Amino acid sequence: MKKIIYMFLVLAVAASCSAKEPEGQKKMDRFIDGLMAKMTLDEKIGQLNLSGGDIPGVLSGSEGLEDAVRKGLLTSTGWSSVTELRKLQDIAVNESRMHIPLMCGLDVIHGFGTIFPIPLASSCSWDTTLIEKSARIAAIEASSNGCNWTYSPMVDIARDARWGRIAEGAGEDPWWGAKVAAAMVRGYQGKDLADSNTILACVKHFALYGASEAGRDYNTVDMSRLEMYNDYLPPYKGAVDAGVGSAMSSFNLVEGIPASGNHWLLTDLLRKEWGFNGFVVSDYDAIGEMTSHGLGDKQKVSAIALKAGVDMDMMTNGYVTTLKKSLEEGKISQKDIDVACRRILEAKYKLGLFDDPYRYLDEKKAKENFMTKENLEFARLIAQKSIVLLKNDGKLLPLRKEGTIAVVGPMAFTTQDLLGMWSGTNDQNSATIVEAFQEAVGDNARIVSAQGCHFTEDPMLAAASGLKVDPAENERLIKEAVSKSAAADVVVAVMGEPRSWTGEACSRSDISLPASQKDLLKALLKTGKPVILVLANGRPLTLEWEDSNFKAIVEAWHGGAEAARALSDVLFGDVNPSGKLTATFPRTVGQIPIYYNAKPTGRPCNPKDHYTSQYLDITNEPLYPFGYGLSYTEFTYGELKLDNASLKGDKAELTASIDVTNSGDREGEEVVQMYIGDPVASISRPIKELKGFQKIDLKPHETQTVSFIITTGDLEFYDSSLKRVWEPGDFQVYVGTNSRDVKSKTFNWQK
734: three-class secondary structure by DSSP: strand
Cα 665 to Cα 390, 400, 553, 573, 699: the distances in Å are 19, 16, 21, 13, 8
Q: Rounded to 5 degrees, what are φ and ψ at 3?
A: -60, -45
Q: Find out whether 453 and 494 touch, Cβ atoms under 8 Å.
A: no
Beta-sheet pairing, 54-55 with 279-282: unpaired
Of the pair 203, 524, the CB lying nearest ligand BGC is at 203
> CA 68, CA 74: separation in Å to the nearest integer?
6
Q: Minimum distance from CB of 160 to ligand BGC (Å)? A: 17
Q: Could you say which of 156, 283, 355, 569 is catalytic?
A: 283
Q: Minimum distance from CB of 256 to ligand BGC (Å)? A: 21
Which residues contact ligand BGC (rule: CB under 6 A)?
107, 151, 204, 283-284, 504
> CA 734, CA 620: separation in Å to the nearest integer?
20
Of the pair 217, 480, the CB lying nearest ligand BGC is at 217
283 carries an active-site annotation: yes
Tell me which residue of 215, 156, 217, 172 sits closest to 510, measured CA to CA. 215
Q: Minimum distance from CB of 208 to ligand BGC (Å)? A: 14
Helix residue ranges, H only, 297-372? 298-308, 318-328, 334-350, 363-368
Of the pair 283, 519, the CB lying nearest ligand BGC is at 283
- Terminus-to-terminus CA distance in the chain, angstroms? 71
Residue 718, strand partner residues: 724
> CA 424, CA 422: separation in Å to the nearest integer?
6
Tell the burial category of 480 from Cβ atoms under 10 Å away from its Cβ (0-12, 13-18, 19+): middle
Handedness of CA 610, 615, 616, 620 (dihedral sign): negative
Beta-sheet pairing, 49-50 with 313-314: parallel
Of the pair 43, 107, the CB lying nearest ligand BGC is at 107
**DSSP structure string for 137-194:** HHHHHHHHTT--EE---B------TTSGGGGGS--S-HHHHHHHHHHHHHHHH-S-TT
Tell the burial category of 666 from Cβ atoms under 10 Å away from its Cβ (0-12, 13-18, 19+): middle
Catalytic residue numbers?
A: 283
